[in-house]
A and B are shown apart, each in its own frame.
Chain A
Amino acid sequence: MASTFAGLSITSRGLNAAQVGLTVTTNNMSNIDTEGYSRQVVSQTSIGPAAVYSSSSLVGSGVEVTSVDRVSSFRLNQKYWAENSAASELEAEATYLEQIEEVFGTSDSSDISEALDALETALGTLADDPTDESVRASVLEYAEAFCDTLNTAAEELESIRSDLNNEVYTAVEEINSYASQIAELNSQIVTATASGASTNELEDARDVLIDELSSLADISVTAADDGSYTITVDGITLVKGDSYNELECYTVTDSTSDSYGMYGIRWAESGDDFDAGDSGALAGYLEMRDGSTADSKGVVYYMNQLDEFAQTFAQALNEGVTDSSGTTYSGNVDGYGLDDSTGIRLFTYDDLTSEEFESSGSDLEDAYSNITAANISVSKDVQDDTNKIAASSASGEESNTENLDDIISICSSVNVSGTSTLTDLYNVIVATVGGDSATTQTAYASKSATATYIDTSRTSVSGVSSDEETINLTTYQSAYAASASMVSAWSELYDTTISMVDD
């Protein structure tokens, strides 16, 4: 025979369970917009009779809430982190490639090829009358404008590289911060699990942090038995339990390295170099910042291309060109200016005179390797005296334009290298960066769509549906109402029982 007030205690358990259900539903509804929130469900079991193996108790003792569980799929999370990492890398590359593209000119702003065309036109006007001082002055202006355009482009590429360097530093700081927070959460989760407390909110917070971390680096996450996550980057442990390994940035002083003068990354404790792997925004920034070969084209690669273009241009116009069929076109050095000077170079670097330029290297090839897009300038000789622009092929003949004709041909129609004219060489750079940018953007669009799809799958599993919660609310409400009406019923019973005893 059960105790007198057993009924009441069963209803109180029922009320309690309904209340927990309502609370959980309310919690879910409140958190419907919370980022990273996984919906929670109540699991309740029925309680068996009070005494086991006794025929006196035949009826169960009500309901018990065993746990409030978080609905989340670790497997989907792992998939999402991998895709997010890859997509973030492509995003980083696409953004910066677009910036590099803009350096080489948008389709309606003045850029290097237009400056070259303008210089050629000015030289053509000079060929009509080489004695005209004002035309000579305008040739000087256009030549300087061309050098300025190259200088500015080089500067912009430098500043893009500097931006990337800062991004690398920021990314490393963020990785450290996330790692430390995840380690902290790990320890809290382990303690809470050990004492049986609920860890839903902590786990949600940890997943959000790992989402952010995955976009920065190529991580792989495994769940340990005690509830903590172990995170490794490229095989090396970043977070394990409550401890984490910090990364630090240092300035690279090895002048033979690709990243000379930029930040290098290493593990703080062991001092080993950090390998960012091949996905994650950090890997993207590093590749964009240091990539200098045809396989990995970063800012440095395009800076080198631009430098080569500047060198070829200066050398062709100064010294002349012999093309593949053996025809020789003379440059400024071979011609005679209006003042019968010869051996003057049009383009040097850092405003050097033609002579200073010659002695700036062990031989002429070496001197030309000193020219970069950032320092190319018109030579001081020509800046001071435009009569040194060598139009004539012999001294004393003012209207002799044979040398100038060669120079004009070199600007436009002579194959200065293999089968490419100067314009072709520039076009190759534009085509390369344009092609790279286009393919990266396409790759990013596709990767990001995949990542989004997996994220949607995650939400499908653990997202809160307000319709579902509303139905749950209605269900728990009626359960509560049902238990409450049972209390009234039992209360009446007790009244009757007590008045039984009363005289």
Chain B
Amino acid sequence: MYRITNGMIADNTLRNISAAAVRLAEANEAVASNMKIQLASDDTTVATRAVTYRSYVSQIEQYQENAESADAWQTATDDALDELVEDITTLKEIATAASSESISDTDLENYATSVEQLLEDIVNLMNTDYNGSYIFGGYSTTEEPYEIVTTDIGETVTYKGQYLSLGSVIASDVSDETIEDYLTDSASEIYNSLTEAATDAYSAYTTALAASTADPTNIILAAKTASALTNYNTITAAVTTYGGTTNLTDATAAAESDYETITDTITTTVEASTTTLTDAAADALTAYTTAAAAAAADPTNTDLAEAAADALEISDALAAAVTALGGTTTLADAAESGDDVLATAIKNYIGGTTTLSDAAATALDIFDTLAAASVTYGDSTTLTSAASSAKTAYDTAYAADPTSTETAEALATYNILSAAITTYGSTATVSEAAEEAEATSDALATAVATYGGTSTLSEAAEAAKTTYEALAGADADAEQNIDYNIGFSTEVTVNVEGQDITGEGSSSVFNTIQKLLLALNGDTSYKTASMDSSGNVTITTNELSITDLIDELSDSLELATTAQATLGVSMEAVTNVTDRLDDAYEAYSALMTDNENIDTATATTELTSAEYTYEAALAVGAKVISKTLIDYIG
């Protein structure tokens, strides 16, 4: 530019002063407001981070509040549990004292009064509230959960309006008729009964069905509906097996033990098997041929193909064993040979061929023999000595007449006793073994009733497993946990449900207290009643002994202390989380302020620099634009 006019100089000066003033204004704003940016366009990264950090900080504040509330709730629960443990200990002491021989009637009366007082106290404890919410009531926190009610068949405790257990403890002087009538009337009001579980399963199924009908192409929903239906059917079958009024937890335990009995039976049958490998291998080969033919006839059916593959595995393993161990080896010996593949194959083979009715018959046979043996040799004889006595008896009979029936019977007795050593242990007494054999026999008889005598052990085991899992699932679903969010994806359950502390079904502490009261009253027996799925009431009379009650009270005490221990662990976790939250809060607040707020040193430096630049622009500009040539002419 070769020609500068005064106008250009003036404009230029003005522009520079304006630019300096803008910078000064911005620096001033930054220092005065303590914020790096006013609008998002000043620095977009800072702006978006600010939104995120603020969100985090506000979430952490909420978590801290929640953690405090959780701690308070849990402390209230812990205090209540402390007192409960004390009360149960006192009950135990009373029971111990009352079980002594030299107890007077007045003492018994006094004890009875104390026990009644303790019962009321326990019920009050279980109705503790924190801040207006009843802490042991699960999700129903606005009403007292526990109440003592008097019914036609005696006093009992209700939980959330439903009977914790109905018909578990009835005084022996109540008539059977009254019991039947009452049970039939109140069958639907039992807490956590199997019938309730079946109803819940049905509503779950209808919901799934509605969802999949609304969206017919969705295969996930269709699969969910199918599994809901299977679940419902399984639980309905369980109602028939265990009775509709049975408590769900009790039924789950029974289903588990049934399943274990069947799997144990497979093992013991293997151990006692006298079938030779050759016979077994031939049998397995035939089975495989049949299965393969069926699978070939229907190629699309994956189940048949799977079954054929399994049959082939068994057949191959057994055939290999014939070559390796010799065709005359029994299955029992072959299973012990150390080859795991062979052992599994033998187990599958036995399980797949032995029917339930055969197994039940064998179990009954074992029980009868053991019962007879305990009469012959004495209750407290160990199995080992009984077995050796039986061997001696057999030798004698064999020497006398090798082919007589007595010899065969003696041999059978000896075999069963030696097998029992393997099953029950050598130090077990004959009567103990007989008891366990009775339980097994009963369980297998029930299984025959449920699954049919012709189903094989493997099939029955599968079905029992399904039942057990379905019931366990239903039990877990019925949990009502009040969870507080105390961290990002961290939840803590703040409540303990009442039935987890007092027990439910037939083993609740309230039942024990009722029995204790009956015993202190002088009763020596009590009745239990249960109802099956067709409405028939079964009434049994049981012996009442205070010693048993002491054991039951120990169990209840353990339940309460376990619940307290779990609570303690949870409280510790909350404390840890609270500490971490405090750290996180500090960290994120620091991030937030670092992000948004100015660094005071930098900002004031910038402000000083801007001021200086502005003043310089003013000073220099003034000098430049004030003089023209006219000032110097003339």
Contacts and interface: CB of A to CB of B under 8 A. Distances in A.
Contacts of B489: 413
B485 A466 contact: no
A468 B52 CA distance: 63
B485 A408 contact: yes
Contact of A399 (B7, B15, B51, B482): B482
B40 A466 contact: no
A434 interface: yes
Given A97-B41, A437-B40, A461-B3, A399 B141 contact: yes
Interface in B397-418: none
A45 B89 CA distance: 133
Contacts of A88: none
B620 interface: no
Contacts of A464: 5, 7
A129 B132 CA distance: 10
A104 interface: yes
Given A113-B55, A114-B54, A471-B629, A459 B38 contact: no
Given A98-B39, A125-B62, A459-B5, A467 B133 contact: no
B39 A101 contact: yes
Contact of B69 (A32, A33, A128, A426): A128
Given A127-B485, A397-B140, A459-B8, A430 B40 contact: yes
B17 to A, nearest CB: 15
Nearest to B596: A107
B140 A396 contact: yes
B139 interface: yes
Nearest to A123: B62
B199 to A, nearest CB: 13
Contacts of B273: none
B482 A434 contact: no
Interface in A1-57: 32-33
A144 interface: no
A294 to B, nearest CB: 17
Given A124-B62, A456-B8, A398 B39 contact: no
Given A401-B483, A463-B5, A108 B35 contact: yes
B593 interface: no
A452 B12 CA distance: 10
B50 interface: yes
Interface in B45-77: 47-48, 50-52, 54-55, 58-59, 61-63, 65-66, 69
B106 interface: no
Contacts of A375: none
Contact of B1 (A106, A412, A413, A460): A460
Contact of A32 (B7, B15, B131, B491): B7
Contacts of B41: 97-98, 101, 433-438, 441
A120 B63 CA distance: 11
A471 B61 CA distance: 78
A465 B2 CA distance: 13
Contacts of A116: 55
Interface string A92-125: 0000011001101011100001101110110011
A220 to B, nearest CB: 26
B362 to A, nearest CB: 48
B633 A113 contact: no
Contacts of B62: 120-121, 124-125
B630 interface: yes
Contacts of A398: 139-142
Interface in A61-109: 97-98, 101-102, 104, 106-108
Contact of A129 (B33, B54, B133, B629): B133
Nearest to B8: A459
A422 to B, nearest CB: 10
Contacts of A97: 41
Contacts of B52: 423, 427
Contacts of A427: 48, 51-52
B33 to A, nearest CB: 7
Nearest to A441: B41
Interface residues of A, number: 63
Contacts of B139: 392, 394, 397-400
B308 interface: no
A397 B69 CA distance: 20
A131 interface: yes
Contacts of B485: 124, 127, 405, 408
A397 B495 CA distance: 14
Contacts of B503: none
B316 to A, nearest CB: 41
Given A430-B40, A430-B47, A120 B488 contact: no
B5 A465 contact: yes
Interface in A248-291: none
A58 interface: no
Contacts of A401: 482-483
A159 interface: no
Given A127-B485, A405-B483, A104 B55 contact: no
Nearest to B634: A474
A471 B633 CA distance: 10
A434 B6 contact: no
Contacts of A438: 41-42, 44
A482 interface: no
B480 interface: yes
B11 interface: yes
A431 interface: yes
Nearest to B628: A466
Closest 8 CB pairs of A and B: A434-B40, A397-B139, A437-B41, A463-B5, A465-B5, A434-B44, A124-B62, A400-B139
5 contacts: A121-B58, A397-B139, A426-B51, A433-B41, A434-B39
Given A106-B39, A121-B61, A431-B47, 16 more contacts: A32-B6, A124-B485, A125-B65, A131-B142, A398-B139, A399-B139, A401-B482, A405-B491, A431-B48, A433-B40, A436-B41, A437-B40, A465-B3, A465-B7, A466-B629, A470-B630
